[in-house]
Structure 1
Amino acid sequence: MAEVESLDYNSDLGCYVRMEDRTSHEDDCSRYEDISQRDKILAELNSQRHCGDFLDLVVKVQDMEFPCHRAVLASTPYFKVMFSSDFTERSSRVVQLHGINSDGFSTILDFLYTGEISITQDDIHDILQAAHMLQVDKITEYCQTFIEERYDLSNCLSAMRLSDLYGFSDLREQARKDTLSNFYEISQSEEFLTLSGQELLDLLTDKKLHVTDEENLVDAVIRWLDHDPENRRTATVAIFQEIRLMSVRVSTLMKLELHPVIQDSPECLAIVTGAKEKHLAGATSWQVSAGAELDEAKVRQRLGTSDDLAFLVGGWMIREENMCDDDYATLTTPLQSVMCFDPDSEQYYHVSNLPTPVSGYMSVTSVERCLYVTGGRAYPLYVHDPDSTSEPLRQAFRYDFVTNAWTKLPDMPRGRAGHQSVVADGKLFLVGGDTDDTSTFSMDCYDLEEQAWIVPPTLPEIASLDLTVTSCNGKIVLVELFDDTENACSWLEETKLRVHVFDVRAAHWSYSDIPVLYFCCRLQSVCKLVTVAHGNVYILLTPRDSYSPHMFLYHVEQGTLSDCSELEDIELSVSFWGTQYQEQNTIHQENPADAIICYKFDEDSIRSTRETDITHTWDLTFELIGYGFLATSKSSIGWYCRDLYKLEH
């Protein structure tokens, strides 16, 4: 086949077009083809349309009339069926269309006559509506491409709506995913205000909705209500039943109580007031209305939020500008305060100043929305001033987080510093550390109800003083890691993990252990983190030179210690909190902390890879020594009852 190409000016299109003459030879027959003829026909028909020649049909859309050729319209499935059926439109010279607007039809008609279409953000809704009704699939494809090429967070709500209407399944999935993952940012747009009540409810009830602060969601809902309060009052109750008000601060709830839309709805006002009262009463669950229990799913944390909270008590700050100073006494600045860290906002907050000039080595634990701060030293261990004392102190305090009030407790039986503390069965136990009367490992006990120090239980035989202490189900749990010299060999170092448990009510000690093998790994290089979840104790061992943590489970009721990797049906959602130390000591033998660290596990990650993406670290703006650290929960401490000052980074 031979082809000859040339350009010819098309007056209707206003440009030169390519003309191709094709010739083919088959035996004694020659076939000639001018493939530009199709363009000529369309151009001629379009010219006739504009001149009003040879037209046999008028299409009415809204208040506009469109003279055209019946044959051209019949190129679409919609009109072909209309004109080939027994409908009156088959022979009628006037056809009335409903369900689309005139601008959209005009654009479709131009495309049928020219094969070209221009789409803008302003008219895509009209074009899609007309193309969908008239079954012009090619234009629908062009519109989908147009949306996808310009898609971003600023228009994902409209993309999601259009995808719902016209079946763009992949685009809809992506737009909904982005909307749920970036809800707060999207809620600040003007387009968010156009959501219907049902559309907003559909987002709020989705389990994949991701927020870092439930109050951001409240702000978005109030903004949405204020945009059209008269027409949106009826949706208020249903919407507020989907907000996790037990994750909203009391100060915000008090503002909500005064909002006109809330006040106009007795049921909604009861929901908000009930949440506020439950917060102040120290409840962890609440009722929607009298006699109606809130569904458990409504008090669970959303994606992006947690119940986790970490406290740092006292200590000494080491700032970089002081690192070249030869005078160790001026290397540090006392941090005579309590601060906390919220992992959701990734923000540090000032909680309270300490009620004592003592700066560090205090232990801290919590129960019933109170912190218990005990012992400590007035100076860092490296200070050797004959006029000062670094002896362990006997001081003890209770701090009510909700009321921001300190209470001094009776002095401890002995001075203690660098120890650990837990509360179990209404008693405060102080374990280990340095004491002022003996160098042996010891324990003290304070009865919270009697407000007096009592005789502590006798400690079991401890193989290592490197203990981690926690409590679970009214029992004290001591976790130790030590070398098992009896079973060690020249090429393998065997470490044993042992858990001691003291049943406070039964006054009975028991223990369970399990061998832990580490090839070429020194015991001192293993980081041990302990947490309580699901009524049991979980232990995470992480070699500092490796990214392969290993988890163990101590089943409190059964008294058994197991390797989690051997459990097939375990369902987990466990977080381990601690502080991250510098690799090298900065001041004598103390390891300054420079970050808070958290290992997070769920059902999948615990049985799969132990990659570093499950580890989260949040840097401090300074290094810290001699501090007390406590990982607790927002619900148990009364986190939402107070507004705290953010600390600048």
Structure 2
Amino acid sequence: MSAVDARQDDPASEESAFSTSVKSEVSSQACNILLELREQGELCDAAIRVGDQVFPVHRNILSACSTFFRALFTSKVGEPPTHQHEIALTQINQDTMAAVIDYAYTRHAKVTVANVEQLLPAADHFHIMGLVKACCDFLVSELCPQNCIGVRKFAQSYFCSALERQALTYTLVNFNSVFTTSNEFLQLDIEEVSSLLKSDNLNVRTEELVFDALCRWIDYNPEKRKKYIARLLKTIRLGLLTTGFFVEKVKPHEYVKESEQCRPIVIETLRFLYELDMDDRREVDMTNPIARPRIPYEVMFVVGGWSGGTPTNMVETYDTRADRWVVCPVADTGARAYHGMITMGHVIYIIGGFDGVEYFNSCRTFDAVCKVWAEAPPMNCKR
């Protein structure tokens, strides 16, 4: 019996599902009634004034939503605020206050590009975590190369750690578009730009792009920034550059030539590249800072096939940047060869094939992010 069948045959499960449905309906109905009472000014026991606008409210509704309002309405210090009918708030505009109160009653917020910069600080100030999350989710959905750096700084200001991580990840993953199109990238200080360029998670096809990025940053204000060239040059994995690019583009660049601090870096890199060119089969020392590869820009998956004269279910990956093969501990349940493979997003489809005895019409999927195998609908014919 399946889990679904068991749940259908379990009276307790049915009662639980019915209870959940009734609770949801009652909760929604109660919210609508309370919202209607507030809009009509009925049974309201407090008012919030913002400028010349007054918002009638129910203290218990705001207190249930916000620890700030709960403390405000239940404080025992001095004159109890519970005796004050009208409370004046400053440093918040009327539209933002209206959105905060609407959220307290409905648990829904209309977050837009126009109001999110005011709504998130207000939600943070009033300790309305649900509204903070709604604002953060909206900002994540709006991330693009032109705003991801600014969104990260905005998140840092209000200690939204999850949003900050997602904005940073977006910046690193889409770095090529960020440094070529974003004015925010040009506004970074030396600490911030160094942190980005030296990150192991920086997603660039080649290290030449990192050199282009640091040059663009310096070019924005060369008189004040060219003194940082040696520090920034160390953020590049110089040992992963081609000898031709380093000799023709990096070594003769005016910022590099004018810096005494760059000379030992240039000498060390030339020695490393020439030794590598003399023996291209030499094993590269991955602990060497100038040759340590970053996160792979792309990974090639090899699934199944023939091995030792029989089909296999082995999964191997090839990291093009590190020039390394890795056997993944995520083999499929059955072996197959002569199958078709295609990717959609981060999911690999393994279609048809042959196990040495039988041809398949089945289709298997492998989620490369979650590392999970699953069965997909089969084909009509074996292939």
TM-score by length of 1: 0.33
**In structure 2, what is the Cα distance between the partners aligned to 1:134 and 1:240?**
45
Tell me the secondary structure at the aligned position of residue 130 of structure 1.
helix
Equivalence for 2:68: 78
Residue 608 of structure 1 and its aligned partner are, at CA, apart by 6.2
Residue 199 of structure 1 and its aligned partner are, at CA, apart by 3.6
Equivalence for 2:249: 252
Which residue, 233, 243, 268 being the options, matches 2:236? 243
Equivalence for 2:35: 39
Tell me the secondary structure at the aligned position of residue 251 of structure 2.
helix
Tell me the secondary structure at the aligned position of residue 290 of structure 2.
helix
Judge conservation of contact 1:108–1:131 (CA < 8 Å) in 2: no
In structure 1, give the amino acid aligned to 2:77. D
In structure 1, give the amino acid aligned to 2:97. I
Which residue, 118, 134, 151 being the options, matches 2:110? 118
**In structure 2, what is the Cα distance between the partners aligned to 1:265 and 1:117?**
54
Equivalence for 1:367: none
- Pair 1:299–1:69, CA change in 2 (3 A): same
Counterparts of 1:284-433 in structure 2, within 5 Å, are 296-304=288-296
Equivalence for 2:133: 141
Residue 216 of structure 1 and its aligned partner are, at CA, apart by 0.6
Judge conservation of contact 2:47–2:54 (CA < 8 Å) in 1: yes
Equivalence for 1:108: 97
Tell me the secondary structure at the aligned position of residue 325 of structure 2.
strand
- Pair 1:574–1:184, CA change in 2 (3 A): closer
- Post-superposition CA distance 1:70-127 (Å, at most 9, x none): 9668643224324525379959988675xxx645x74134441685753222432332
Residue 213 of structure 1 and its aligned partner are, at CA, apart by 0.8
Residue 203 of structure 1 and its aligned partner are, at CA, apart by 3.0
User: Are 2:208 and 1:212 equivalent residues in the alignment?
Assistant: no
**In structure 2, what is the Cα distance between the partners aligned to 1:142 and 1:130?**
13
Judge conservation of contact 2:38–2:56 (CA < 8 Å) in 1: no
Judge conservation of contact 2:140–2:167 (CA < 8 Å) in 1: no
Judge conservation of contact 1:107–1:127 (CA < 8 Å) in 2: yes
Q: Percent of aligned positions with the same letter in both sequences?
A: 18
Judge conservation of contact 2:239–2:290 (CA < 8 Å) in 1: no
Tell me the secondary structure at the aligned position of residue 299 of structure 1.
coil
- Pair 1:273–1:71, CA change in 2 (3 A): same
Equivalence for 1:127: 119
**In structure 2, what is the Cα distance between the partners aligned to 1:45 and 1:153?**
46
Equivalence for 1:20: none
Residue 172 of structure 1 and its aligned partner are, at CA, apart by 5.5
User: Are 2:222 and 1:225 equivalent residues in the alignment?
Assistant: no
Judge conservation of contact 2:100–2:123 (CA < 8 Å) in 1: no
Residue 140 of structure 1 and its aligned partner are, at CA, apart by 1.8
Judge conservation of contact 1:253–1:272 (CA < 8 Å) in 2: no
How many correspondences in the alignment? Answer: 275
Residue 246 of structure 1 and its aligned partner are, at CA, apart by 2.9
- Pair 1:34–1:133, CA change in 2 (3 A): closer
Tell me the secondary structure at the aligned position of residue 206 of structure 1.
coil
Counterparts of 1:15-30 in structure 2, within 5 Å, are none
**In structure 1, what is the Cα distance between the partners aligned to 2:310 and 2:269?**
46
In structure 2, give the amino acid aligned to 1:38. L
- Pair 1:37–1:157, CA change in 2 (3 A): same
**In structure 1, what is the Cα distance between the partners aligned to 2:98 and 2:205?**
49
User: Are 2:196 and 1:200 equivalent residues in the alignment?
Assistant: no
Residue 219 of structure 1 and its aligned partner are, at CA, apart by 0.8
In structure 2, give the amino acid aligned to 1:252. K
**In structure 2, what is the Cα distance between the partners aligned to 1:126 and 1:67?**
18
* Larger helix proportion of the pair: 2
- Post-superposition CA distance 1:246-270 (Å, at most 9, x none): 33322121353x03xx577643x33
- Pair 1:35–1:574, CA change in 2 (3 A): closer
Tell me the secondary structure at the aligned position of residue 202 of structure 1.
helix
- Post-superposition CA distance 1:518-555 (Å, at most 9, x none): xxxxxxxxxxxxxxxxxxxxxxxx769866599xxxxx
- Pair 1:255–1:305, CA change in 2 (3 A): farther
In structure 2, give the amino acid aligned to 1:142. A
Q: Judge which range, 202-211 or 214-223, deviates more.
A: 202-211
Residue 600 of structure 1 and its aligned partner are, at CA, apart by 5.0
Structure with bigger gyration radius: 1
Residue 215 of structure 1 and its aligned partner are, at CA, apart by 0.6
- Pair 1:41–1:252, CA change in 2 (3 A): same
Counterparts of 1:271-286 in structure 2, within 5 Å, are 273-274=266-267, 277-278=270-271, 282-283=274-275
- Pair 1:34–1:224, CA change in 2 (3 A): closer
**In structure 2, what is the Cα distance between the partners aligned to 1:145 and 1:283?**
50
**In structure 1, what is the Cα distance between the partners aligned to 2:154 and 2:30?**
41
Judge conservation of contact 2:296–2:319 (CA < 8 Å) in 1: no
Equivalence for 2:181: 189
Equivalence for 1:601: 325
Judge conservation of contact 1:246–1:275 (CA < 8 Å) in 2: no
Judge conservation of contact 1:253–1:276 (CA < 8 Å) in 2: no
**In structure 1, what is the Cα distance between the partners aligned to 2:97 and 2:249?**
52
Unaligned segments of structure 2, at least 5 residues: 1-28, 278-285, 301-305, 338-383
**In structure 2, what is the Cα distance between the partners aligned to 1:275 and 1:124?**
50
- Post-superposition CA distance 1:5-29 (Å, at most 9, x none): xxxxxxxxxxxxxxxxxxxxxxxxx
**In structure 2, what is the Cα distance between the partners aligned to 1:234 and 1:611?**
58
In structure 2, give the amino acid aligned to 1:201. S
- Pair 1:546–1:172, CA change in 2 (3 A): farther
Judge conservation of contact 2:207–2:237 (CA < 8 Å) in 1: yes
TM-score by length of 2: 0.52
**In structure 1, what is the Cα distance between the partners aligned to 2:319 and 2:239?**
21
**In structure 1, what is the Cα distance between the partners aligned to 2:39 and 2:154?**
33
Residue 185 of structure 1 and its aligned partner are, at CA, apart by 3.1
In structure 1, give the amino acid aligned to 2:288. E
In structure 1, give the amino acid aligned to 2:39. A
- Post-superposition CA distance 1:119-171 (Å, at most 9, x none): 222432332122112212332232234234445666554555555545463x6
Residue 56 of structure 1 and its aligned partner are, at CA, apart by 6.8
Judge conservation of contact 2:237–2:289 (CA < 8 Å) in 1: no
- Post-superposition CA distance 1:539-594 (Å, at most 9, x none): xxx769866599xxxxxxxxxxxxxxxxxxxxx99999xxxxxxxxxxxxxxxxxx
Judge conservation of contact 2:200–2:293 (CA < 8 Å) in 1: no
